Amino acid sequence: MTDHAYQEYEFASPSESHMHMHFMPHVFAFAGDLRAHTRVLDVGCGNGFLCGEFLKRGCKVVGIDLSTQGIQIARRSYPTGRFELLEANPDILERLDEEPFDLVISSEVVEHLYQPRNWAKCCYTALKRGGRFICTTPYHGYFKNLLISLFGTWDTHANPLWDGGHIKLWSKHTLTRLLTEVGFENLRFRGVGRMPGLWMTMIVKAEKPQ
């Protein structure tokens, strides 16, 4: 999520994406007990749909994104949340003028980024000590990649003609390296959608040390 490389996603409505139905129940399972006023930051909030679900549960929510349309829709749809047109940088708390958050989430974002380490550092520094991070990204592993190759479907699976599409394909191993590099610990993964090894997406929960 950097200004110079961002391709406007062009959100048209406040509706959920086709992926929310798959990962959202697991996101809330990983989030655990959400007390009233739990402070949540959504990094790459899009049209704010997931933020709205946290707001329904009594959380205090801030969302950031580089999509002008997404932020406009989020502000209209969820007036009790805060939504800002900002990129994911390690100085995010200063830019927002906010205290560290209890929970940071980022769904289906990291696969779009040229500089994922900035995103990871942003999510880490935005958390309070002992805070929890949850992210989702399309799953890629040896067996799934092999089947995609055997069936010759890479051109549709990772279509290079999709402006602003997926530019990095993450496995459990590579995502673990990215998150542990910046200091996250106690990582726990869960595959979602389809059968094991062919999951649509994966969810990881991680913690910032006390």
Domains of the chain: 20-207 (3.40.50.150)
- Average pLDDT on 147-171 reads 81
Instruction: Tell me the C-alpha to C-alpha distance, in Å, between residue 154 and each of 4, 23, 109, 195, 200.
Output: 27, 23, 20, 19, 15
**pTM more than 0.85:** yes
pLDDT in tens, 163-205: 777 788 899 999 999 999 999 999 999 998 877 878 888 999 9
Which pLDDT value is given to residue 1? 45
User: What tokens appear for 180 in the block?
Assistant: 């542990």
- Strand extents, DSSP E, 33-192: 39-43, 60-65, 82-85, 101-107, 127-138, 185-192
User: How high does pLDDT run on average in the chain?
Assistant: 90
